[in-house]
Amino acid sequence: MAGSVQDRGNGSYLLTYHIGYDAKGKRIRKTRTVKAKNPSEAKKKLAAFVTEVETGEYIAPSHSKFGDYVEVWKKQALKRLAPKTIEMYTYLLNGRILPALSHFKLEDISHVHINDYLETLEEDDLATSTIQKHYNLLNGVFKLAVKNEVIKKNPMEKVEKPTVTYKQGEVYNSDELRQLYYLLKNEENRQQVLIVKTALKTGMRKGEILALQWDDVDFNTNTIHVRHSLSYTKENGYQLKEPKTKGSIRKVAPPKKLMAELKKHIYKKKTDRMEAMELWEGGKYHFVFSSDLGKPLHQNVPSRWWNRFLKRINKEFKKNEKPVLKKIRFHDLRHTAATDLINKGANIHSISKRLGHANIKTTMNIYGHYLEEADQKIADMLDEDYI
């Protein structure tokens, strides 16, 4: 049935939409009060309101619980956010946000509630980057509620956005790197060894390494083209997407010895594909790092192998009463690559570009203290010649 607009004065209009009758023959109405400059604008808002009701996105303001409206937000988010982001946000919602806020009515949630919630995240010692993700998600939900005129104001406007501070990660020094390369020589899984070496010698992110195709490795120019990042979600499976930032689409020049190893590895992959024939699982893609039948590697595979490798060699070191190799995350291999370049005297602009950072500020925020340490070493060397 058609909707109607009632002018209530002072730019306020009551929108009414009849959707049928209940079991007792009583009309079922959906209503919303909106602000509009004139009747024409009010009619446009009515049309949008009718669409919202018919698509199931409308929830009466008096019954709009936060938990219910999150489902409305999800429908919108699925249209514009990457599957991996949706999966991450769903994890945050189910793990903390909904248990804390789902029972509140949207209009009852104030900036005080949000600040209290964010404070609990700080008390639980969550990373600042994770807390900012909570903030962004909450802001997205309330922004949509304001846009749909379910609530009048976004409580997040009075909440200060958390600042991300980068913690100093563990990295290997030059001596530890030499030891690591020596240990990797004896490993049987050459593909995983090559993944580790690629991370250490290019500073590429794990998703970027796993996304590499044969054509991305240019042996004529001795460059690797970073064009994609590989992600995986339960709902959508494996997906190739553009890297993290515009600056992430880049060319990286690896050492020639690494390129020689990659050349042998890719040749083996091409041979595997020819021999597999119809059993090949790579489809139209030619992943540099894959299963024996060409299927892409899950993002947890490199980290799992790396952790097992460290555990195994350190167990042997302890058995022989030798110093263990420091345990770092797979992602810290990227940080090690950056600090190694700093120690070798590379300038910060080149390092930032190589790492694919959006701007040099990001590089300075993460590696500024290492640059200061390197500069101090230079000062110490100069001091030796001072008369």
With respect to residue 164, please indicate whether it lies within any of the assigned structural domains.
Answer: no
Q: Looking at this protein, which amino acid is placed at residue 191?
A: Q
| Same domain assignment for residues 195 and 308 | yes
pLDDT at res. 377: 63
Compare 107 and 373 and report the one with higher pLDDT.
Answer: 107
> What's 78's domain CATH number?
1.10.150.130
| Same domain assignment for residues 18 and 92 | no
| Same domain assignment for residues 83 and 214 | no
With respect to residue 168, please indicate whether it lies within any of the assigned structural domains.
Answer: no
pLDDT at 375 over 90: no
Total domains in the fold of the chain: 3
Compare 63 and 248 and report the one with higher pLDDT.
Answer: 248
Q: What is the mean pLDDT of residues 358-365?
A: 81
pLDDT at 54 over 90: no
Integer Cα distance of 250 and 223 in angstroms:
10
Mean pLDDT, the chain, rounded, equals 89
| Same domain assignment for residues 355 and 251 | yes
**Domain final position from 130, 158, 186:** 158
**Domain final position from 102, 125, 158:** 158
| Same domain assignment for residues 288 and 218 | yes
pLDDT at res. 370: 73
Specify the pTM.
0.68
| Same domain assignment for residues 144 and 205 | no
With respect to residue 8, please indicate whether it lies within any of the assigned structural domains.
Answer: yes
With respect to residue 163, please indicate whether it lies within any of the assigned structural domains.
Answer: no
Report yes or no: 162 and 121 within 8 Å, Cβ to Cβ.
no
| Same domain assignment for residues 214 and 240 | yes
With respect to residue 84, please indicate whether it lies within any of the assigned structural domains.
Answer: yes
Sheet with 217-218, strands from edge to edge, namely 217-218, 223-226, 250-252
**Domain final position from 58, 87, 104:** 58
Q: What is the mean pLDDT of residues 36-51?
A: 92
Full residue range of the structural domain in which residue 248 is found: 174-379
With respect to residue 385, please indicate whether it lies within any of the assigned structural domains.
Answer: no
| Tens-digit pLDDT profile for residues 218-252 | 999 999 999 999 988 777 788 898 876 777 899 99
pLDDT-based confidence at residue 344 (cuts at 50, 70, 90): confident
pLDDT at 110 over 90: yes
Min mean pLDDT across 272-281, 309-318, 336-345, 365-374 is at: 365-374
pLDDT at res. 239: 87
CA distance readout (Å), 135 to 106, 117, 143: 16, 10, 12
| Same domain assignment for residues 81 and 206 | no
With respect to residue 52, please indicate whether it lies within any of the assigned structural domains.
Answer: yes
CA distance readout (Å), 69 to 31, 86, 156, 286: 17, 16, 16, 42
| Tens-digit pLDDT profile for residues 172-219 | 998 999 999 999 999 999 999 999 999 999 999 999 999 999 999 999
| Tens-digit pLDDT profile for residues 279-338 | 989 888 999 999 999 999 998 999 999 999 999 999 999 999 999 999 999 999 999 999
| Same domain assignment for residues 14 and 44 | yes
Compare 344 and 382 and report the one with higher pLDDT.
Answer: 344
pLDDT at res. 38: 94
pLDDT at res. 294: 94
With respect to residue 166, please indicate whether it lies within any of the assigned structural domains.
Answer: no
| Same domain assignment for residues 125 and 83 | yes
pLDDT at 62 over 60: no
Q: What is the mean pLDDT of residues 351-370?
A: 83
pLDDT at res. 31: 86
pLDDT at res. 90: 93
| Same domain assignment for residues 235 and 342 | yes
| Same domain assignment for residues 225 and 359 | yes
> What's 257's domain CATH number?
1.10.443.10
pLDDT at res. 88: 92
